[in-house]
């Protein structure tokens, strides 16, 4: 993993906080996501659906990516922009399936909207942060950085 990305991930890693940090403000993040959705809808002239029925997770919501932006759409995959409860971090689920130009445009809009994009490739590494109890959150396998910020706990 790139050192700069690792530093970003470590920066938001708070001991004792599984689902959201101590500074978490639901209403502030909700407004930010609503604004991001409007920007994406307007830019692509397509409706991005917000899935915010999330519980027991380290992420806030998914913005479903419309199939028009996906090269070889597969109905069973959850194409989305996933927004973490931690530090305005975001990732794109199944990014490799998106048309490259579309993925790049989405990332530019995310940056302009104040979010920090982290590639799944960086997140798919064993969690090595300072929250020791989190390292044992599962009994059958070790959690990753994706689990820490973008998954159900």
H or E segment and range at residue 64: strand 59-64
Give the chain's mean pLDDT: 97
The two tokens of residue 32 are 């930010």
Between CA 148 and CA 134 the distance in angstroms is 8
Between CA 9 and CA 142 the distance in angstroms is 17
First to last CA, the chain: 23
Confidence band, pLDDT 50/70/90 cuts, at residue 39: very high
Tens digit of pLDDT for each residue in 41-94? 999 999 999 999 999 999 999 999 999 999 899 999 999 999 999 999 999 999
Smallest CA-to-CA distance from 149 within 122, 111, 110, 109 is with: 122
What pLDDT does residue 1 have?
85
Between CA 15 and CA 9 the distance in angstroms is 13
Q: Where are the domains of the chain?
A: 3-150
């Amino acid at each position: 993993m790139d050192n700069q990305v690792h530093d970003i991930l470590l920066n938001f890693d708070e001991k004792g906080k599984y689902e959201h940090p101590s500074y978490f403000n639901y209403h502030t993040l909700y407004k930010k996501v609503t604004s991001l959705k409007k920007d994406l809808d307007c830019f692509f002239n397509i409706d991005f659906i917000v899935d915010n029925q999330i519980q027991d997770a380290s992420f806030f919501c998914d913005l479903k990516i419309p199939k028009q932006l996906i090269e070889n759409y597969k109905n069973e995959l959850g194409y989305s922009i996933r927004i973490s409860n931690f530090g305005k971090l975001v990732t794109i689920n199944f990014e490799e399936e998106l048309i490259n130009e579309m993925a790049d445009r989405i990332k530019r809009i995310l940056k302009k909207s104040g979010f920090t994009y982290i590639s799944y490739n960086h997140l798919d590494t064993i969690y090595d942060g300072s929250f020791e109890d989190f390292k044992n959150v599962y009994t059958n396998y070790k959690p990753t950085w994706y689990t820490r910020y973008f998954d159900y706990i």
